Amino acid sequence: MTMASSNTPIPVDDGFNEYESSLKHQKSTMSKVWDEMTKFECENKNELKAQCNHCKTIFSAKSSSGTSHLRRHLNSSTQPSPEGVPSIKNYKFDADECRRAISTFIVCGKHSFRTVEEPGFRYMMRIASPNFKNISRHTAARDVLMYYAKERDRVKEELAKAPGLICLTSDNWNSEHTNDEYICITAHWVDKDWKLQKRIIRFRALFPPYDGLNIADELVLCLSQWGIDKKIFSITLDNASYNDVMVSCLKNRFRANRAILCDGAFFQVRCCAHILNLIVKAGLELADDVVGKIRNGIRYIKKSGIRRKRFYDVADKSFHLNVTKKLRQDVCVRWNSTYLMIKSSLYYKDVLDYWGQRDKDYQMFAHSNEEWRNVAILCKFLKVFYDVTCIFSGSNYPTTNLYFRGVWKVHKVLLDTVKGPYSFLTPMVKQMQEKFNKYWAEYSLILSCAAILDPRYKLNYVQYCFITIYGIHASDFVETILCNLRLLFDEYVKKSKSTSSSLAESSNVSNKNSVDSGLDEHNDNSADFVGYFDESNDYKRYLNESSTRSEKSQLDIYLEEPELELNSQIDVLDYWSKSSVRYNELSLLARDLLAIPISTVASKSAFSMGKKVITPLRSSLKPKTVQAVVCLDDWMRAKGFFNR
């Protein structure tokens, strides 16, 4: 797939405009009274009558009579409903709203469209609302597409109104049932109320080949359709090789449109959770002598239901442990599950020892005191990585400002452990250091800048962290980060001034002619210095430059103020919301920086949803239907629908 030229119309089946056909199927709405009235012909076939479904009263239904008299009757009706339910005076059946609710039911529950044709569903709807008319699976699917098209327009309006720039996450997923390669693109931004927002804007099957150029075309098309191609600040990606090609292609296109900051120096952000995963997995491969016995022992206990029940009975009655904390078995490809397995084994240590003394088959998995000591040390070591991963994987709060402290903690624990007394960890930690140096030998500049804009850290904390790692060479690293932050801040100052000047010029144009004409009338005899040249604009520029040289910038003033308590719990967006009057330009930079997600978890979580949508029984769903269901589910979550 290649990107179409600006003169080439976008094809209908492009993941965006194809939904318009669903809207065209929507019939023109009739009066709501016919949801509660039945129209029929009299003996005189030229005359129509209407009968109230509730009280059976008959009215004229001539087209010339309108429906006002029918609506008045329904509003004033006081007929009691069955089983003592309150009167229907305030009840109005809305067929459109009911169909919308069914669409919501299908989307949120990942139900098949055939559900609406099941006898049980139709019986339920008939009992809940006798006026409901059954719909087919095709109508239900069309309703969902129509619902998506309307909600998409609302989300597009939200993105257009976003006061700052928009950050992206993107990832790919292969469906095992269809073997299609899907791309998920998620938009992140801070809204006018300084709340972090995220929305999935594309969940679409790709056409082969699945290379960087093809994916870049898909991204450019998506951003253009949503109208945000000139509002992008950064994109967060994993370390797949094709992503480097894709980012290079995107940078070139954005540079051509002058839609990228600092020539793209801060454009790409690598997924920190993915890097942490690679670091820890590299180390755990060399710790199998410690982990292997725990894994096999737990597998032995959990393999038999009788053994498992006896184990928890002993834990409860003999050791008085809280057996709601289960003995966990890990998934080998997920290191965090290995950490949780080790942690749970330490909780049940005494029970496992007791079990080893009484079960001959388990004795081969039993641990000595020395082995348990090593397990406890390994668990404490891995806890740092687990806690940092959990923080990095958040998507409902800013994570950019937390990057620097998290990476520094990982860096520090690796350095301290390799020099420490626990020789059994040394080979593992050295392997992890190699991976760390491959990806994080140089801390990410853009994410380190965000740490300085956290009022708990600022520059002093960054200096402290680098000194503990690099000693006398720390100043070089600090200076590099500070220079980049100033470079980025200057971009925002220029942008703010150009916006202000353009607004000022537009407001002054209307007054200029009237003022000038008034001066001409009264100053015929005055000395005229404007005849040769007018230096007033040049003089204003000189004054601005002089004041800029002599006055401190907002960034300098912010850095001179004392930091907040290091471990204080603050809402960093709320801090900058309240500081936006004092630090106008700096708060604009903070808004965009704090919107950057440092992991692709927001996009990866959509793939869990995709597995529920694309099942063996639903593998023939059209790509546009899959996108509609996944996006609608995400947008409903954003509106808090699942908390009701």
For the domain covering 144-271+599-639, report its CATH number. Answer: 3.30.420
Query: Of 41-50, 170-179, 535-544, which one has max mean pLDDT?
Result: 170-179
Q: Is 407 exposed, middle or buried (0-12, 13-18, 19+ CB in 10 A)?
A: buried
From the number of C-beta atoms within 10 Å of its C-beta (0-12, 13-18, 19+), residue 22 rates as: buried
Q: Are 492 and 594 in contact (CB under 8 A)?
A: no
Every domain of the chain and the residues it spans: 37-73, 144-271+599-639, 274-393, 399-498+570-598
Backbone angles phi, psi at 241, to 5 degrees: -65, -35
Q: Check residues 286 and 138 and name the one with the higher pLDDT.
A: 138
Q: What is the pLDDT of residues 202-234, one digit of tens each?
A: 999 898 888 989 999 999 999 999 999 999 999
CA separation for the pair 440, 114 (Å, rounded):
51
- What pLDDT does residue 20 have? 67
Give every CB contact of residue 260 below 8 A, 6+ residues apart in sequence. 232, 251, 254, 267
Amino acid at 485: L
Q: Are 229 and 220 in contact (CB under 8 A)?
A: yes
* Cβ neighbours, 10 Å, residue 132: 18
User: By C-alpha distance, which of 202, 257, 199, 269 is closest to 231?
Assistant: 257
Of 548 and 234, which is predicted with more confidence?
Answer: 234
Residues 6 or more apart from 392 whose CB is under 8 A from it?
272, 273, 276, 399, 402, 403, 406, 598, 599
Give pLDDT tens digits for 433-474: 999 998 888 888 888 999 999 999 999 999 999 999 999 889
3-state DSSP call for residue 533? coil
Tens of pLDDT, residue by residue over 58-95, are: 888 877 778 888 888 887 764 554 444 444 555 677 88
Cα 104 from Cα 110, distance rounded (Å): 10
The one-letter code for the residue type at 505 is E
415-437 pLDDT, tens digit each: 999 988 998 999 999 999 999 99
Give the side-chain half-sphere CA count within 13 A for 483: 7
Confirm if 15 and 232 have CB atoms less than 8 A apart.
no
Q: Are 484 and 633 in contact (CB under 8 A)?
A: no
For 139-171, the pLDDT digits (tens) are 999 999 999 999 999 999 999 999 999 999 999
C-alpha span between 562 and 37 (Å, rounded): 72
